[in-house]
Amino acid sequence: MNDFINKNKIYILPSILLVLNILAIIFHFFIKIPFKFELIPLIIGGFIVIKSTVLATIKKRKITAGMLVVLALIGTTYVGEYLSGSIVSFMMIFGEFLEDLTMKKTQNAVRSLIQLVPHKCRKKIGNKFEQVPIREVRPGDIIQVIAGEKIPVDGIIQNGQSTINEAAITGESMPVDKTKNDKVFVGTLNENGVIEILTEKIGNETILGQIIKTVKNAQENKGNVQKTADKFAEFFLPTILLICVITALLTKDIMRVMSILVIACPCALVLATPTAVVASVGNAAKKGVLIKGGVVIEELAKVTTICFDKTGTITKGTPEVVDVLICDESKRNEFFNTLAIVEKNSGHPIGKSIVKYLVEKQKIDLGKIPNGEFNMLFGRGVNVKINNNSYEVSNRKVLTDLNVDIFDSENNNIKSLSKKQIYNFLDHEEKLGRTALLVVSNGNILGCISVADTVRPYIKDTLNELKTLGIEDFVMLTGDNEYTAQAICDEVGIKHFKSNLLPQEKLDYIKELQSEGKVVAMIGDGINDAPALTLSNVGIAMGMAGTDIASDASDITLMSDRIDFLCETIALSKKTYSIIKQNIWIFAVCVNIIGILLSGLGFLNPIAAAIIHNTSSIFVVLNSSRMLGYKYKNDTPNHSRLSMQSN
């Protein structure tokens, strides 16, 4: 029971106050009871608001919207408007609850990052490896990692070779072949082979440790964003107090002062943001977009620059066969059968993508394909032997590693294509950042196949649509190489990119943009994106395709795998921000100014003032409720195509 309470304690108080306020409304308007039930939530909520406001004012040394609420509670309580005071205090607490919930999500992201580090590892003690807790490992120790295990340290391979999945650090989906003297990083996955690693860094000093540290720091920095209501309160509160003092000195009428406090009650101001936010969050949730609070919407509405991660965001994050070159059409069946024999039992992402292509596009029945002796050719490809036959799918290293000159005309192995055409295919595909492989049967080249991570549908139309919404610049940030980055940017129409980036470097670039006065949104899906997602003005995670860590570290999560939903989300935020400003300046500020003037002149008593300020609050709620049915409509040609594709 205690564990349940500790796990869900941030939900308890808002839930209790919500129930109490609903009951208070029922007992106030519909069912008469012998006492003022609204006093219960007013006392509980009022105490909490006053306590938190005093502590926040002392800590920040700034006037916040909470001080306006404290004055409002005094005024409404004095004139007996207990229900109004209760609702105002609840809205303040609910807003803080949303902030706490976002902070908890970030803490979950940090915990998930920590869990990437194995608790135990095999450390070399004497002449053998023994399993020890990770806390007993020090720089200089030799660690053994077998296939399927996560690497527990940052270090250098001393013995062995393997394929390492570094998605946790670089965000790239393609595993990397590594051997002696190559660097490896904590949290990455050893997909095959046994390697021995000389430990260089442990704990907070590792790349992953730095990611965890930057996520924490970024969240703290981001927490300093000031809400619109707080900015307004900085000048509004002193003004109201000054007016009250002047009125008291000139009129000696305490009822006029109370009327001013009541009409100045920030019900409309306090309700301005959360009511619009709740309506917008509900609207977005129906479309599979999760938005974490009002500050997020306000910031998203101001975004000028969007930074995109490449893998899993602009691209699908999984390799696909994109091109095939067959040397001799008469040997077409042999070409595909050789591919099937070699890749049938492959666990490598490239092998899996080829198998998927063979089954779905070429309709090959893998059950009829014989099994052979499977051999990984490190840094080159895969070889399978069946009886005296040898089949291979490898990169261009096969051209120098084979014992015979495969382009010798006496071999008669290339009837339709020249040596130049083969090399042109390899060069062209590799310049596009793709993986180009040769298909070889018994020393004869049958053709080539190209595999790549392909771009998402709708991406080009999405970028065009974002421009119409006021986004000034797009930048792609990737851990991939420059050639691949350039090819992807050219394909989708992004002018600027940064390649070969580690997580800290992505973070530094976000800071650089912000220092230039740009409001930056970062959209990504990987663990390595977490720091940038957290520090950017708005972090947006690709939910279904991405990691839980990225989702927890972000402000907005696109739960579907559809990047085109970003357009509607930004349009929604801009409309919501417009509604919030209407609520504040029309229904809060204007009504308050007129009401304060009339109260100071004696035309309004406290009861009349309470009626007016409650009426303005009702209009705020009605205005905000328009966001429940908001639909993004744009008749530009780009959007018409986008809508058709989305459907």
Hey, which residues are catalytic here? Answer: 309
- Give the largest Cα separation in the chain, rounded: 114
- Give the 3-state DSSP-derived string for 467-485, with helices as H, strands as E and coil as C: HHCCCCEEEEECCCCHHHH
CB 626 within 8 A of CB 551: no
| 50 contact partners, CB below 8 Å, separation of at least 6 | 70, 73
Nearest CA among 172, 191, 184 for reference residue 433: 172
Q: Where are the beta strands (DSSP E) in 270-342?
A: 289-291, 305-309, 315-326
User: Which of 148, 256, 252 lies closest to 192 in space, CA to CA?
Assistant: 148
Q: How far apart are CA 398 and CA 267, in angstroms?
A: 74
In whole angstroms, how far apart are CA 379 and each of 47, 319, 341?
67, 18, 20
- Reading the block at residue 565, the tokens are 């939903």
Nearest of 432, 431, 497, 488 to residue 460 by alpha carbon: 488
Give the containing element (helix H, strand E) for 19: helix 2-29
Q: How far apart are CA 310 and CA 609, in angstroms?
A: 56
Nearest partner of 84 among 612, 467, 576, judged by Cα: 612
Cα–Cα distance for residue pair 553/105, rounded to 1 Å: 7
Contact between 284 and 572 under an 8 Å Cβ cutoff? The reply is: yes
Q: What is residue 71's three-state secondary structure?
A: helix
Q: Identify whether the C-beta of residue 280 lies closer than 8 Å to the C-beta of residue 625.
A: no
Q: Say if residue 534 is exposed, middle or buried (CB neighbours under 10 Å; 0-12, 13-18, 19+).
A: buried
Q: Which burial class, exposed, middle or buried, applies to 371 when counting CB atoms under 10 A from its CB (0-12, 13-18, 19+)?
A: exposed
In the three-class reduction of DSSP (H, G, I as helix; E, B as strand; rest coil), residue 530 is classed as: helix
**CA distance to 472, 491, 646, per residue, from 481 (Å):** 26, 16, 31
Single out the residue of 613, 586, 588 nearest to residue 599, CA to CA: 613
C-alpha torsion sign, points 450, 455, 457, 463? negative
